[in-house]
Chains A and B, each alone.
Chain A
Amino acid sequence: AQSVTQLDSHVSVSEGTPVLLRCNYSSSYSPSLFWYVQHPNKGLQLLLKYTSAATLVKGINGFEAEFKKSETSFHLTKPSAHMSDAAEYFCVVSEKRGSYIPTFGRGTSLIVHP
Chain B
Amino acid sequence: NAGVTQTPKFQVLKTGQSMTLQCAQDMNHEYMSWYRQDPGMGLRLIHYSVGAGITDQGEVPNGYNVSRSTTEDFPLRLLSAAPSQTSVYFCAASSGNTIYFGEGSWLTVV
CB < 8 Å neighbour of A92 from B44, B99, B104: B99
Q: Which A residues are CB-close (under 8 A) to B74?
A: none
Measured CB to CB, the nearest residue on chain A to B39 is A107
Interface of B is mostly: strand
The CA of A107 and the CA of B58, in the complex, are separated in Å by 19
Known: A9-B40, A94-B94, A98-B50. A104 touches B35 (CB 8 A): yes
A94 touches B99 (CB 8 A): yes
Known: A32-B96, A96-B96, A101-B31. A106 touches B50 (CB 8 A): no
Q: Mark A89-114, 1 if CB is under 8 A from B, else 0.
A: 01010101011111111110000000
A to B contact number (C-beta, < 8 Å): 59
A102 touches B97 (CB 8 A): no
Known: A98-B50, A99-B31, A106-B40. A51 touches B45 (CB 8 A): no
The CA of A32 and the CA of B99, in the complex, are separated in Å by 10
Interface members, chain A 26-68 (any B CB < 8 Å): 32, 34, 41-44, 46, 49, 51
CB < 8 Å neighbour of B97 from A41, A51, A90, A105: A51
CB < 8 Å neighbour of B45 from A6, A46, A103: A103
Q: Which B residues are CB-close (under 8 A) to A90?
A: 42-43
Q: Which A residues are CB-close (under 8 A) to B64?
A: none
Q: Which B residues are CB-close (under 8 A) to A46?
A: 99
Name, among B48, B58, B95, B99, the residue most crowded by chain A CB atoms within 10 Å (CB to CB).
B99
Q: Mark B35-59, 1 if CB is under 8 A from A, else 0.
A: 1000011111100101000000010
Q: Which A residues are CB-close (under 8 A) to B35?
A: 104
B103 on the interface (CB 8 Å rule)?
yes
Measured CB to CB, the nearest residue on chain A to B98 is A49
CB-defined A-B contacts under 8 Å, sample of 12: A43-B101, A43-B104, A51-B96, A94-B94, A98-B50, A99-B31, A100-B94, A101-B33, A101-B58, A102-B99, A104-B44, A107-B42
For the complex of A and B, the 4 pairs showing the least CB-CB separation, nearest first, are A51-B97, A106-B42, A104-B43, A99-B50
